Structure 1
Amino acid sequence: MSDTWGLAGGDAIVPGLTAVKPVGGGTMYEAWLAFDERLYAPVVAKVVRPGQVSDSARADLQREVDMLGRLSHPGIARLFAYDDEGDRPYLVLENIDGPSLSSLISKHGYVPLHQLLPLGLELASALHYLRAMDVCHLDIKPSNVIMGAPAKLIDFSIAMEAKAAGELTDPLGSDEYMAPEQCLPGERGTVGHASDMWGFGATMFRAAAGYRAFEREPRWLQLTEEPYVLPDFVPTALGDLIHACLSSDAADRPLPEEAARALEPMLERLPQARLSGFKISL
């Protein structure tokens, strides 16, 4: 039997919060589009799975609440409410009108430049802010990017302050999007803000190419292999930026603001949209 609360559309997650449809989740959580009667608006409810409810899960939920409570940025999904003490612990998060980057790539393939470059700028903006707040997300990947206007980062379940990240001794993250130092903390370097820039690079690679920089199997090919070659249609300057972010040495990766400054002229050089078939004279 799967580890689920068995919810269906129309069921109450808790009083005042009604499930609409599932929108993903993971090992620890179910995620639902829900209707919040207090806000009178659609939200996302992140619910701890029944088999995962424990003191440690409640502590993890509270840690995520504390983290999100510190953060306020246009590129980060907002926290509206939570309950870490009830029988069904949950978070209520902002619902962003758009698909995840991973589902967009799965459906349509690579992301065109007119979408990709603004996406890169918006993610770099969020990462610049997180760096200023001394927070490491540690799980930057396409499924944690929602393609709203602007694109938004979600899932701060393993985020932590840089000091705590630097003290990690065990692997943490999602395999293909983990910087080398996240795979082997200490042996391959110290986990920190630059680790998120590696995740940014791996995410931008997949969006630009339509395929991953490294295969899933065997595990952690980023420790021994170079990333795949980007397609010819990816501009050289963008490819250079992506590969700089994927440097095995954290010190060689650009800062978020440096990535943004590299992306801005690429965006400016894109052809401007214009009306066709007639001309407006003033």
Structure 2
Amino acid sequence: MQPETVTLGPDDPRRLGGYVLLGRLGEGGQGVVYLGRDADGGLVTVKLLRGGRAAGQRARSRFVKEAAAARQVEGPHTARVLAAKVTGDRPYIVSEYVQGPSLQQVVADRGPLPEERLHKIALRTARALAAIHRAGVVHRDFKPGNVLLAKGGAKVIDFGVARALDSTTITTGPVGTPAYMAPEQIEDEPVGPPADVFAWAAAMVFAATGRPPFGTGPNAAVMRRVASRRPNLGDMEGPLRDLVVRCLDKNPAARPTAPQLIRALREGRPPAVEPRPSGIPRYRWRMMVALAVVITAGFTAGVLFPTG
């Protein structure tokens, strides 16, 4: 069954390379995603870089890196990148089409997932992140809408804002969906795999409770909560709750890696959580301690060695 699409507009191409475009599936800051059909009649998704030849050199360069990196991602838990054309007027990436509703749709329509199904999705998506990171890629927009519940199990899609790991220190402002963005994305700091782990945990909270851990509303309000408040985990309980708490740490270095997530989910217990001052992100606490040391040293020096 063909999915619902938005009818192609007058400015949309009808064909890219050997792929016939059937309609729009979505649109983002970097480009437009179309439903397409290949020469054998199979369905695919085609992402077209916004602006084409007029796109800035930086955008085109990033698109080329992303296409090359995304093609290295292998595994049954991600949508495969099938082809890419990164030169000419209309650079595009062709990916496997995954038949099935998104995690966002399922929870919105039917409510929070039962524990057994939630655990399966948590494990499969953690495996997907491990494969993505192993290929040297950071997804940067992991969210319930980018998890499709196919007949064979959950698959992670949309590497539209993915970044090669060697470029994560180049920041161009927050990229992603506010409710599932890590604090370092919001604060425009270097973004790496820990940001995907944070987003994974936020998505699991949504799947378990029906709402993201930092609520909804205007983007600015949500981002303030992500950066400064504790997550609301609702009635989550058990090992998954403990694991999510660790993943939602404000300090990227304190979060487990994707392989550690997999082991924790298999064993039914999270990695050990280091104690920290309540209510204050660890990296901010350390900054406060360092500042206090400097102030104290200055005060002591002033008392012992007055200049007046």
User: TM-score, normalised to structure 1's length?
Assistant: 0.79
The answer as to 2:162 corresponding to 1:183 is no
The answer as to 2:154 corresponding to 1:154 is no
Q: Which residue of 2 aligns with 1:105?
A: 107
Q: Partner of 1:239: helix, strand, or coil?
A: helix
AA paired with 2:228?
A: T
Q: Partner of 2:168: helix, strand, or coil?
A: helix
Conserved 8 A contact 1:137-1:159 = yes
Deviations 1:252-279 (A, max 9, x none): 2122222222322559xxxxxxxxxxxx
For residues 192 and 180 of structure 2, the distance between their equivalents in structure 1, rounded to whole angstroms, comes to 14
Which protein has greater RCO, CA pairs closer than 8 Å, 6+ apart?
1
Of structures 1 and 2, the larger Rg is shown by 2
Q: Which residue of 2 aligns with 1:274?
A: none
Q: Which residue of 1 aligns with 2:297?
A: none
Of 244, 250, 259, the residue aligned with 1:248 is 250
Of 62, 65, 71, the residue aligned with 1:63 is 65
For residues 130 and 25 of structure 2, the distance between their equivalents in structure 1, rounded to whole angstroms, comes to 28
AA paired with 2:107?
A: I
CA RMSD of aligned residues (A): 2.9
Deviations 1:23-43 (A, max 9, x none): 223233222222111x43111
The answer as to 2:87 corresponding to 1:94 is no
For residues 203 and 75 of structure 1, the distance between their equivalents in structure 2, rounded to whole angstroms, comes to 16
For residues 50 and 173 of structure 1, the distance between their equivalents in structure 2, rounded to whole angstroms, comes to 20
CA displacement at 1:95 relative to structure 2: 0.6
Conserved 8 A contact 2:69-2:136 = no
The answer as to 2:6 corresponding to 1:6 is no
Is the alpha carbon distance of 1:180 and 1:35 closer, same or farther for their aligned partners in structure 2, counting shifts above 3 Å? same
CA displacement at 1:242 relative to structure 2: 1.3
- Give percent identity, aligned residues only: 31
Deviations 1:222-241 (A, max 9, x none): 1121111322xx33221111
Conserved 8 A contact 1:5-1:49 = no
AA paired with 1:165?
A: T
Matched residue count? 257
CA displacement at 1:7 relative to structure 2: 6.3
- Match runs of 1:1-282 below 5 Å: 6=9, 12-14=14-16, 16-37=18-39, 39-49=40-50, 53-56=54-57, 57-148=59-150, 149-168=152-171, 170-186=173-189, 190-215=190-215, 216-217=217-218, 218-220=221-223, 221-231=225-235, 234-265=236-267
Unpaired stretches in structure 1, ≥5 consecutive residues? 268-282
